[in-house]
Amino acid sequence: MVKAIPDGYEATTPYLIVDGAAAAIDFYVAAFGATELFRIAAPGDRIGHAELRLGRGVIMLADPFPEMGALPPEKGKPVPVSFVFYCADVDAVAARAVALGARLRGAIEDKFYGDRMASLIDPFGHCWHVSTHVEDVAPDELDRRAKAAMGG
């Protein structure tokens, strides 16, 4: 019987539109350790669809297809969506990403909610919160820390 959610996929899977999908695949493989599953070529030397395994999940991506309303982030403008990527060593992954063209958005630091995090913009305009979970924080302690961190 066919499964509604295929093996190896989650119910929610991000789909990125990137200006330069082939270069983006190379970046995500080198910086984040993703594994390319496959890519489908499209007319005009574009990638019509590609899938990468990133951790236990999959990300999908394609080149822009303005004729279908598929547009990448606008260069230099804030993006309304960000991705959280958990990894074993946030410092090493962030250093690789920056060396490959990502821009760090502030210091890599331990956050009140138990993650060590680097917020960065990849060379294609997408925002990633690369994180390593370093502490389990009980709900009451999380509430206390959140209030202290946010001035409440």
CATH 3.30.720.110 fits 74-152, yes or no: yes
Enter the pTM of the model. Answer: 0.94
Domains 1-66 and 74-152 fall in the same CATH topology: yes
Summarised one tens digit per residue, pLDDT across range 45-60 is 999 999 999 999 999 9
Percentage of the residues of the chain whose pLDDT score is greater than 90? 94
Average pLDDT estimate for 1-9: 93
For 133, half-sphere exposure in the C-beta direction (CA atoms, 13 angstrom radius) is: 5
SS3 148: helix
SS3 32: helix
Summarised one tens digit per residue, pLDDT across range 60-110 is 999 999 999 999 999 888 899 999 999 999 999 999 999 999 999 999 999
Select 1-66's CATH number: 3.30.2350.10, 3.90.1300.10, 3.30.720.120, 3.40.47.10: 3.30.720.120
Q: How many CB atoms lie within 10 A of CB 81?
A: 9
The token pair at 48 is: 């019509």
What does the domain layout of the chain look like in residue ranges? 1-66, 74-152
Q: What pLDDT is attached to residue 76? A: 85
> Whole-number mean pLDDT of the chain?
96
